[in-house]
Amino acid sequence: VPEHTVTVTADPNRYQFDGQIMAYDQVQAELQAIADKYRRGATGNARVYIKIITNPGADYGRVGDLVDWCASIGLDKIETTGR
């Protein structure tokens, strides 16, 4: 099962997706592409694990937004952790 990591940084519109720095809309596009690629027809969910890491000083509300986005596109295997 593929695994991907999104890091929420203290900068309001700065994230890291698998180590690459990008804005929120870019992260959304990457996650959408992954969800579409690994979507299972029977359930509509994607067979992918997403780990969300929250850096010190990052607004936890942004983590909630990211979790909600993932769930809305069928990425339901999500782990959140802080640093």
Averages of pLDDT over runs of 10 residues in the chain (83 residues) are 96 96 98 94 89 96 96 94 84
pTM, whole model, 2 decimals? 0.92
Q: 33, exposed or middle or buried, with CB in 10 Å at 0-12, 13-18, 19+?
A: exposed
pLDDT of residue 38: 92
Residue type, 29: A
pLDDT of residue 42: 81
pLDDT of residue 59: 94
pLDDT of residue 43: 83
pLDDT of residue 19: 96
pLDDT of residue 40: 87
